[in-house]
Structure 1
Amino acid sequence: MGLTKTYGEGDSAVAALDRVDVAITKGRFTAVMGPSGSGKSTLMHCLAGLETPSAGRVLIGGTDITAMSDHDLTLLRRDRIGFVFQAFNLLPMLTARDNVLLPLTLAGRRVDIERFEHVTTVLRIADRLDHRPSELSGGQQQRVAVARALITSPDVLFADEPTGALDSRTSAQLLDFLRSSVRELGQTVVMVTHDPRAASYADEVLLLADGRVAGSLTGPTEDSVLAAMKGLGE
């Protein structure tokens, strides 16, 4: 609420976010789009607790994360937030199963077998769990990374340009999986993307321009997203 993020001081100060008010709907797939420099990545980093806003508050499930200590923020990111990035960041010496379960292992948490089986089935990696990353295709590695992000049942899954390094077929598969996690697992997903086709998989598109909310689209299509971006000067 009222999120502001300023870099630098005095005359050289740049406002990446300017009093942004955003409400992310639980159990929905929200895409964040805008021209380069619009503040979309900064917004996601603030919402995920990776950056501290200069002003305003971020609430996740009723918890004000802007008031948290660094230690408590670290625990919150580990236990209640999932991340998917362009790089898969899988550990090469671990099997797919152990990579998926890594967040629970590090937290000393018990594995919910039903959740594990559901996630790996939805993401179609149940038959690849004994393979190491080098034995998996790029798309399979990305699915393992998504499963790892979902295994803790996070309040929110944040995806930062997750299709940027993928070919069109693998990209479509990943977006299908993200949409499936919303519809079949009840997951809340927030994805930053520059790709209108990727945004068309979302339930809603949030548009940013010059660090401010410039509009939104419900039930987006690739054409409607393209038209909206053109209206922002992209």
Structure 2
Amino acid sequence: MTTLTNSSFEAENTRQGTAVSARGLNKNYGRGETAVAALRNVDIDFEAGRFTAIMGPSGSGKSTLMHCLAGLDSVDSGSIMLSGTDITQLNDTQLTTLRRDRIGFIFQAFNLVPTLTAEQNITLPVALANGKVDRDWFNSVTLTLGLADRLSHRPHELSGGQQQRVAVARALLTRPEVIFADEPTGNLDSRVGAEVLGMLRRASQEMGQSIIMVTHDPIAASYADRVVLLRDGLLAGDLNNPTPETVIASLTKLGA
């Protein structure tokens, strides 16, 4: 792949409509003989408006890649472009602002504030930014996610699936440039997990939301438009229009 300067990298990122792009990513944990290379010179693009899953065996680097792309972890070398911004050049304060204003997160553990209502949890990022909630968009998101009659409930009054829907609504409310989802169905049963994955797919197809999801589940990955495969910190495959069968076959070749 042709090496890009920062300026040409930014131009390509904008021209091709990519949500996030990375070049030459390297990330190591530990030092000396105990050092582990989590990412090895990774070059990758994630198209805007698409739902992409990242998969690989345990220790493949998939979670590390997502955390670096989202600005939750630093890299040892390389560049990460988010809509024209090289996030590897930002300081901690700038990264905090970027994550708050331009990125959405959905975690396996939901990460809801137990003392707040569903509505307050959904609008929390806007409140922290001293912003104003777009009520029309809020109503549209909560209606789409089936939360309109649960907004006054606190997390302990909601089922696991409803709590995850609140987390999805919170991620969508600010219309972020990209949503990162880390095993978003890991704590859900198969039926509710399918509902949440269907919502993420609709968010991509109907709302144009860019979604990057880490998962170990071939069925979950089949909801995505694309699956990126990693092994030992290296890109090891790329599937478009995945099915559970093609994902399982690809993972089997990787020894997962």
| TM-score for both structures, normalised by structure 2 | 0.90
CA contact (8 A) 1:122 1:180 kept: no
2:31 corresponds to: 9
1:63 corresponds to: 85
Alignment of 1:155-166 (within 5 A): 155-166=177-188
How many angstroms apart in 2 are the aligned matches of 1:134 and 1:53?
A: 37
Q: CA RMSD in A?
A: 0.9
1:126 aligns to 2:140 (yes or no): no
1:214 aligns to 2:236 (yes or no): yes
In structure 2, which of residues 203, 212, 216 is the aligned counterpart of residue 181 of structure 1?
203
How many angstroms apart in 1 are the aligned matches of 2:44 and 2:185?
A: 24
Give the CA deviation at 1:108. 0.4
2:55 corresponds to: 33
How many angstroms apart in 2 are the aligned matches of 1:211 and 1:59?
A: 19
In structure 2, which of residues 80, 96, 109 is the aligned counterpart of residue 87 of structure 1?
109
Q: How many residues align?
A: 234
1:201 corresponds to: 223
How many angstroms apart in 2 are the aligned matches of 1:137 and 1:6?
A: 39
Q: Which amino acid is 2:231 matched to? A: A
1:144 corresponds to: 166
> What is the aligned-residue identity percentage?
62
How many angstroms apart in 1 are the aligned matches of 2:70 and 2:138?
A: 24
**Cα deviation digits, residues 153-194 of structure 1 (max 9, x gap):** 111100111111111111111101111111121110000000
Give the CA deviation at 1:12. 2.1
1:230 aligns to 2:249 (yes or no): no
Deviates more, 1:87-96 or 1:21-30: 87-96
How many angstroms apart in 2 are the aligned matches of 1:83 and 1:166?
A: 17
Give the CA deviation at 1:130. 1.6
Q: Which amino acid is 2:26 matched to? A: T
Q: Which amino acid is 2:154 matched to? A: R
In structure 2, which of residues 47, 65, 70 is the aligned counterpart of residue 43 of structure 1?
65
Give the CA deviation at 1:96. 0.9
1:52 aligns to 2:63 (yes or no): no
Q: Which amino acid is 2:34 matched to? A: S
2:8 corresponds to: none
**Poorly superposed stretches of 4+, deviation over 3 Å:** none
User: SS state of the match for residue 20, structure 1?
Assistant: strand
Structure 1 gaps, min length 5: none
**Cα deviation digits, residues 79-128 of structure 1 (max 9, x gap):** 11111111112122221111100100010011111211121122111121
User: SS state of the match for residue 115, structure 1?
Assistant: helix
Q: Which amino acid is 2:190 matched to? A: S
Structure 2 gaps, min length 5: 1-22
Deviates more, 1:195-204 or 1:110-119: 110-119
How many angstroms apart in 1 are the aligned matches of 2:249 and 2:136?
A: 43
**Cα deviation digits, residues 34-82 of structure 1 (max 9, x gap):** 0011000000000000111101011111100000010000000111111
**Cα deviation digits, residues 7-33 of structure 1 (max 9, x gap):** 122222211000001100000000000
Q: Which amino acid is 2:86 matched to? A: D
